[in-house]
Structures are given as structure tokens and as C-alpha cells.
Chain A
Amino acid sequence: MGDLKINRNREKLSPEDEEKGKNFEQVLSGYAGRQNPFYKTTKFYLSVAVAGGLIAVGAFFLAKDETPSVAETPRPFIDPAAPHLRVNDTAFSVDAAQGGTFQYFNGSEIEVPEGAFLDKNGNPVTGNVELRYREFHDPADIFLAGIPMTYDSAGQRRHFESAGMIELTAWKDGQPLQVNPGQPIRVKMVSHTDEDKFNVYYLDTAKKNWEYVKRDVAELTRVEQDSIPAQAAAALMTEPTKPKKANPDRPSFVIAVDPAEFPELALYKGVRFEVDVEKTPYDPALSKVTWDDAQIAKHASGLVYEVTFFKENDVHRFLVYAVIDAANYEQAMKQYADRYAAYKELQKARKLEEKGKTAKLEKELKKMDGDRIARNFAALQAAMASRARFNTTSEDVVFRVFVIEKFGIWNSDYPCALPEGQEIFVRLTNGANGQELPVHRIYLVEKSRNAIFTYYAKDLQRFRYDPDAENMLWCVTGENKIAVFQSDEFERIDTTKKEATFKLKVTDKQFTNTAEAKAFLNI
């Protein structure tokens, strides 16, 4: 008993402490995660035998059967709505022997210890490894990436509300690698919520279910203002400016600028300053002068600046536009698209957080009568104070830690039931032509919750939603087109009737980046 620690007169667990750890859902999740997959059970083999017989009989009678309907066509387990978009994807190069710490654009950290990778045969990997990492923080990320959000908990289908999700994989010479079990990778993911109700799950693609790992605990970390994540986050809170291609017919020059002072320029390579010759006449002879000094100042919004050149008493001032030379323009546009997506992401996450907190508080208050308000006043005050603290200390960042022992998708989520409220029979049609819209599954999104509720085609006979919430519905049609039913259309549903036809807006557009797709999804 050498490592035994003796605590004297330790404080007893308070009722609040007890309540904090009480989570029957977590127990059910953990239990379900340990159950044998159905295909390994005796029941499965019996079912196979029976099904085999039925198929044989069925095949005889249905010899002239037609192509199965969209609803019956099997879809991949991970089924991206926009397969060509790698949502929020980033890659890092890591020396397998040394490891290292890497930062995602929002301040999340990936800590790779030395010797963290094994090849498919279990041998240690040396040399450079490509680490691919991405995060999913809202229903649109999840929908576009096609991550399953249902969870079979002890035979009951649950739907995830998310505090954030990550995908981490490692590659060498095009081959996927494994994590060395003795050297797990640690990911500190920035989360939009500090609530304690979430659990960690790993997506087991073989069993086609999420595997409960442990109860999750949010870590609140004060990030110093001058630290890299804080700077990165601050930069991301500013909308990036679209780069402009250099016009070869206009005079332009290059000046080295301080990236800390002009972060909007530091983003791109090949930046030149093009003179606005209409507003500030330019003499080509000036290009031959060696100037003593040059100053640059922001002139207006966008990439418009004022540059002043000095040589003894000679001073020349020009209005200029920051432009990108032809060689770097395509790359700059890609960077802009990524940065814009990240910016929208943060904006949305912040709005979602505010909205979620306000809606939750209002809901709590709505439910209470006068006496209960009085009884719970202190608790509510404390909760509000805590929320105010969380909102005002912008340098406090919530992290959720994943200890990665297997590559793949991990989440910090909370399994919940379908929304309560209205239950209707739903028909889906294409809003443009009124034709029935066959789908395999649809996703109901409540804007105030970071949750996505999955309905399969057969569930549409009993479609449940909360009419008091701001709802949206998304799906992918049989022709792999994204279709939406917006919140204002939800509000127009006649709740006195038991049936409703949802006229969906279907798009033919191939989105070129996540931000564009999110704009269509209106989130």
C-alpha cells in the first residue's frame, strides 16, 4: 500500500457535488457501447437464417421488382452532404521521432508525443508524417461532413447535442497510420460551451455506432492576450477582405510592411501596392528614385492605403490598393475562402452560444410559477452571474481534452431525445415543381441548440418538432442535391392539422467552400 494517500478531515461531498456526477444517460451510453455488435450475436445468425429463407421466397415473387426507392437505397455510414468539401480541414507535418505541438486556427492544440505512430503492422514509424485534423462545431459542419448523429443507447435511438467534434488521422506515403497505444496524442479542442453534461464518444465505423469513452469535463483556461491563440482568435473575429488581382497596366510597387500592424496583408503572398492613378497622379520617373523612407497608413475599409515616400524635402503621397500578383492570386483566393469560412464559423458559434444561453434561461423562467421563481432565485442569480462571467471574460477559453488512442472521429456530445411538441405527418416536395421529393433521411436543426436530429424516411409519418423553437430542415435528395426548409416556413405550418407538406428549396449549386454552403443553409 505504498502509494496510499491519507486525507484528514476532508470535506464531505455536498448535494451539489453528488448531483454533478449523477447521469443515468451516461451509464446507459456506456453500457450500450460495450454490447456486442448485433452481427456477433446468436440472434444475428438465426436472423440470417430466417432472412435467407425470406429472401429466397421474396426473390421468387419479386423477380420483376424495380430499382429500390431512394429511402431504401443504402447510404454510406458517413454520408457527406457535400463530399467534395473537406470541411475545416487542416494538415500538419510532424517528425514522428520528435513529435510536437500544433495549433488549429481557432486555438485548439494537438500535442503529439515522440514515437506516436505505428504502421499497419504495428511497427514504429520514422520520418515525416502528415497529420490531418478538422473540427466540427455546428450542425452545418456536421451535415456537410455527413457525420452520423444518432446514437444507439441500450436499444434506444438518441440524437447528439454537441460541444464539439474532431477528426484526426495520420498518413505516411499515402498509407493510414495507427496511434502507438503507449504514446497517445492529446487534443485540446476549443469548445463553445462550458456545460458539464457532455460525454466523450468515439465513432466506431466497424460497429456503426458511437462508443462511450468517458464523462467529459470542460477546462476553462485563461489565455493571455498576447499569446498566439488569442491573437489568432482576434484576427479571426475580423472579416477578411477579398484579395484583388494586380492589374498589369497600372503602376505598382512592393513595400515590406509589419505583419503585426497590417495582419490583413500578412495573410497573402505576392502583395503589391497598385497606385490609384485617377486620384493620385503618378509620374513613372519616380520609380527610379531611391527613397529615404516610406510610410503606409490605412486609408479606408478594404485594402486601401495611403503611402508616403520621403527623400530630403521631397514628399510624394499616393492612394494605393493592396493587390496580389498573378502568380499568387489563386492561392490567395483559397486562403481568403478558408479564412472567411473560419470567420463566419466564429461569428455563428458566438451567436449560437448567446442564443442558446438566453433561450435556455428564458425557458427555465417560463416554466416557473411565482413561488418557484422565489425558491430558485438564488440559484438563478448564481447561474446568471456565472454566464455573465463567461461572456465578459473573453480571454477565458473553454477546452475539451481528448486522449487519442485511435485515429478517427471523437466528440464531446450529449445524447438527447427528439424534440417534444408538435407531431405531424410530413410530405416532402420540391418547392420549384411540386413533385414529391424522395430522400433517405432528413435532419432537423434547432437554431438555439447545437443539435441535429435525424429522421429516416419512414419516420416522416411521425415527425416531431418544437413549434416554439427556431427550426430548419436539411436533407440530400436522391440526386445528391442539398435541399432546405427554412425557419420562416416552419412558422407558417398550420399546427391545428395533423399533416403538412414541406416545400423544400433544392439547389443545383456545387459549393466551392464551406462558407458558401453555410450561407445557403442559413446558419
Chain B
Amino acid sequence: MPYANASFMTVESKYHATQEQILNESDEIAAAQKDPVKFEPLYNRYYSRILGFVYQRTDSKEDTYDITAQVFINALESLKKYKHQGLPFSAWLFRIAANELNKSFRKNKVRQAVNIDDEQVSDILLEIGEETTADTDARLMNVLKQLEPEELQLVEMRFFEKRAFKEISEILGINEAAVKARLYRLLERMKHMITKLQ
């Protein structure tokens, strides 16, 4: 079972911020806490990433635009309470985005979607030790529909968005080891579900 060593595939996150970037950003955050207009550089920096995060989880561009705007409005509203705790500002924004998405799904305002390409399907199937065939592909789609929201979130972040464990742990607010353990258990469960569907 290739996933058993819990190292998984090597992922270089394109999202992760360096410590230097985090520190430089704290001045901008402090300025924005005093004057909302000064939030603009942060908005410009993270807009595309939040937009992409939302688009990955929704079905329409219009919903994506609306939710993304709400995410930044929520962020601006909560900014006064924001305290730098060594974590990237982006992780805080992604957490707000995840909450806003969940709220929209719960209220049936927006249809939840998973956007996946063929390569990502192969990656997951490889990770759980299955060949990629039309049959396993179809079964994986079925399995994705049966996952709990938190489980799907984990799969999306790790396999669709190729985020590093460290970044996932920052967004979810849990430690890195716990992320690995959860993902390991999840992949096992997914394998079991796929086999059961045979």
C-alpha cells in the first residue's frame, strides 16, 4: 500500500509564505487595522488565491465572485481582532474562506462542487493503490460524493490544490502530524469504500 508510510507524494506548495514575507506583511496588517482603505495591498496580494480556493469548491463563476467578496469583507471586519501568531496571513484568510463556503452550502445559497481533472484522479487512485480505469474512476467519483465535508476539504487541499502538510495544518488550525494521520486514515477508508463498491 503506497500510502502506508504516510510520506505521500512530494508536494512543493506554491502557496506557502516564507518567514520574511510573514514579517514584512505584519506592517501592512497593522496599517489596515487602523484604516480599512490600507487593506488594499493585502487584498491585491491574496485575491487570486482566495478566488481560486473558492472556485475550486463552487459551480459557477458568479458565486465565486460573490463569495470571494464576502470573504474579504469578513476579513476586514475581523481584522481588528487579528493577532500575528507566527502563521501566514493567508492561512487566516483561507480559514475565513472555508467558513464562508460552508455557510453558503448550509444555507443552500450556493451549490457545492468539486472540480477535478483526470490527472488528479490518477494521483488519488495511485495514492490508494488502485489502477486508473474507467471503472475505478467512476467509483472514486461515487466515493467523493459520500465523504464528510471535512474529509473532502482534506482531499481537495492535498490532492487538488497540492498544498503542503504544513500549510494544511495552518489553515485547519491543527498540527502537521494530525493532518498526516487524518489523511492516512481517510485514504484507507476511501480504498475500503472503492473496494466495497466493486
Contacts and interface: CB of A to CB of B under 8 A. Distances in A.
Contacts of B51: 13, 18, 21
Contacts of A34: 73, 77
B116 A3 contact: no
Contacts of A30: 69-70, 73
A1 B155 CA distance: 14
B62 interface: yes
A6 B137 CA distance: 12
Nearest to A214: B66
Interface string B128-149: 0000000000000100111111
B68 interface: yes
A235 interface: no
Interface in A425-454: none
Nearest to B41: A24
B66 A215 contact: yes
Interface in B5-45: 35-37, 39-40, 43-44
Contacts of B62: 217
Nearest to B147: A1
A21 B69 contact: yes
A28 B40 CA distance: 9
Interface string A8-37: 111001000110111110111011101000
Given A23-B69, A31-B77, A156-B37, A6 B61 contact: no
A9 B117 contact: yes
Contact of B112 (A3, A21, A154): A3
Given A27-B43, A31-B36, A34-B77, A5 B66 contact: no
Interface in B104-160: 111-118, 141, 144-149, 152
A388 B118 CA distance: 41
Contacts of A6: 113-116, 141, 144-145
15 contacts: A4-B112, A4-B144, A6-B113, A6-B114, A7-B113, A8-B116, A8-B117, A10-B115, A13-B51, A18-B47, A21-B51, A26-B69, A27-B43, A34-B77, A155-B35
B89 interface: no
Interface of B: 35-37, 39-40, 43-44, 47-48, 51-52, 55, 59, 61-62, 64-66, 68-70, 72-73, 76-77, 111-118, 141, 144-149, 152
Given A6-B116, A7-B114, A21-B65, A28 B36 contact: yes
A5 B36 contact: no
A220 to B, nearest CB: 15
Contact of B68 (A1, A4, A21, A156): A21
Given A20-B65, A28-B37, A5 B73 contact: no
Given A27-B43, A27-B72, A214-B66, A4 B77 contact: no
Contacts of B47: 18, 22
A1 B55 contact: no
A2 interface: yes
A21 B43 contact: no
A17 B61 contact: yes
A20 B55 CA distance: 14
A125 B145 CA distance: 44
A4 B37 contact: no
B140 to A, nearest CB: 10
Contacts of A27: 39, 43, 69, 72-73, 76
A194 to B, nearest CB: 15
A17 B52 CA distance: 11
Given A28-B36, A30-B70, 16 more contacts: A1-B147, A1-B152, A4-B113, A4-B114, A5-B112, A7-B116, A8-B116, A8-B117, A9-B118, A10-B115, A13-B51, A18-B51, A24-B40, A24-B44, A31-B77, A32-B36
Contacts of B144: 1, 4, 6
Interface string A144-163: 00000000001110000000
A32 B37 CA distance: 11
Interface in A139-194: 154-156
The 5 closest A-B pairs by CB, nearest first: A21-B65, A30-B73, A154-B36, A31-B76, A5-B113
